[in-house]
Amino acid sequence: MKKFLDEHFLLQTPTAQRLYHEYAAKMPIIDYHCHLSPEQMANDHVFGNLTQAWLYGDHYKWRAMRTNGVNESYITGNRSDKEKFDQWAATVPYTMRNPLYHWTHLELQRYFGENRILNSDTATDIYNSCSEKISSADYSIRNLLGKMNVKLICTTDDPLDDLAFHQQMKAEGSALKVLPAFRPDAAMAADTPQKFSAYVNRLETVTNISIDNFDTFLDALKQRHDYFAANGCSVSDHGLEEIYADEYTEVEVASIFDRIRKGVSVPLTDIRKFKSAMLYIFAVWDWEKGWVQQYHLGAIRNNNSRMMKVLGPDTGWDSIGDFSHAVAVAKFLNRLDTEDKLAQTILYNLNPADNELMATMIGNFNDGSVPGKIQWGSGWWFLDQKDGMTRQLNALSNMGLLSRFIGMLTDSRSFLSFPRHEYFRRLLCNLFGDDIENGELPNDLPWVGKLVQDICFNNAQRYFGWQNLISNDINTEKQAIAAHL
């Protein structure tokens, strides 16, 4: 019987173990999509205790606690941090076979050297020990990230953000590179006219542009797009239920904008036309600047309207949707490709039923100009667990080139979430190790090790053009190619 979470965790063969320990484990981390706080990174925040670092804002844990019958006062309510932690510790034994069980204990091990199993019996000792550490300067946010060898983080930012904290870190020459990503979801939210109009008012203030029609609206947004570019942004992101690629005319969209601006509800067909126009325009701007664009597709958000009113968004009331993506995604990408305006693109699906769809869709628009120009993103949100990531890797292997994949990201709001990169790397090495041991791949560890390192770090570094921002001192590519030849 194997020991729980030993050094060979998830590595089922000697070859997998060698691939991980000799090649993958040492690679730095690029986290090219997350929801971490730029302010906390800029100020090198020190948490007061483990609860603040671990449970504040983590809706994965909140959902598990609710399912385990924990009262909301111990989750997002006014109970003390120690009481909240105790309720989480009591929940952990019931999370077995949920990825939270693995993540929880990986995080305790990697950050704090804590090898005990978390439960009600160990809760107080673990809380006191880890809280003492994390409240010290040695465990400041940048030091936490350094422990995981994180070199670059790409945050998720509204177009109205002043990016002051990104500017602060750049000015001080921080070794940790923190770049913004342009996330204009609120600028497309035509289905909530009052909120949309309020957003446009704020856009007017930020840009000092009087927005009285669709053209001036675009002028203001373009100013913000340019501002992000001037502050190091080279990535956009969209969180959508689905891609919008409905037919529209410029006259129609201008009229729709006028009605929305006045707070008038418009029919769904017009909302879709407006969103279709905005997605296309944003995509063209991204292409003009050579940005990478990301599309996170398939979540149904804020399903519980009662709790949405109480707690707001991003508090754990979202789920997988069953949208039909194929035709719209193909139409959207094809229009851009036909006009020679298709930027490097990453597609993410939340419904695993869409795996093979995405794995084949990306091949339609890879034109040879850039290795893996159109990417299928890693297992996301509900799918960033052992089965979800393994299925994604296998589908990509079967229908594309896994070797050109840009690897894992956290998509996280927690600074203790970076062992998820290790989790992914172990699963990746286990897949290659199994194939080698089964005689399905040659026993060419220098070459396979190179591919593993590419997927872990090198591919993303090249894909996003961040070679000048971060260097990888561990580069076996030339030796691996020479050995392979």
Q: 280 Cβ partners below 8 Å, 6+ apart?
A: 332, 335, 336
Q: Which of 352, 298, 295 is nearest to 321 (CA)?
A: 298
Judge whether residue 478 has pLDDT over 50: no
For each of the domains in the chain, give its residue range(s) and CATH number, in order of start: 46-139 (1.10.2020.10), 154-413 (3.20.20.140)
405-415 pLDDT tens trace:
999 999 999 99
**How confident is the model at residue 1, as a pLDDT?**
87
Say what the pTM is: 0.95
Can you read off the two tokens belonging to residue 36? 């971490």
For residue 179, pLDDT over 90 is answered with yes
- Please state, in angstroms and rounded to a whole number, the distance separating the CA atoms of residues 126 and 111: 13
Identify the bridge partners of residue 375 per DSSP, sorted by sequence position.
346
**Cα 282 off chain centre by:** 20
pLDDT mean across residues, the chain: 95
pLDDT at site 470: 86
Could you please report the per-residue DSSP string of 70-105?
--GGGTTSSS-HHHHHHHHHHHGGGGTTSHHHHHHH
210, 211, 213, 217: CA torsion to nearest 10:
130
Backbone angles phi and psi of 178, in degrees to 5: -125, 115
pLDDT digit string, tens, across residues 263-277: 888 999 999 999 999
Q: Which of 10, 31, 87 is nearest to 393 (CA)?
A: 10
Q: How far is CA 382 from CA 277, 387, 391, in A?
A: 30, 10, 13
For residue 171, pLDDT over 70 is answered with yes
Per-residue model confidence (pLDDT) at position 481 = 43
pLDDT at 367 over 70: yes
Q: What is the mean pLDDT of residues 286-291?
A: 98
| Model confidence band, residue 472 (pLDDT cutoffs 50, 70, 90) | low
Distance (Å, whole) CA 156 – CA 235: 9
**CA-CA distance, 273 to 237, in Å (whole number)?**
20
How many CB atoms lie under 10 A from the CB of residue 433? 24
For residues 227 and 476, the model is more confident at: 227
Helix spans in 175-267 (H): 193-207, 214-230, 250-261
Q: What is the pLDDT of residue 473?
A: 52
What is the C-alpha to C-alpha distance for residues 428 and 426, in angstroms, rounded to an integer?
5
Helices (H) and strands (E) in the chain, counts: 21, 9
Return the pLDDT at 477: 46
Beta bridge mates, 235: 292
State whether residue 369 is helix, strand or coil. Answer: coil
Query: Over 90: is that where the pLDDT of 262 sits?
Result: no
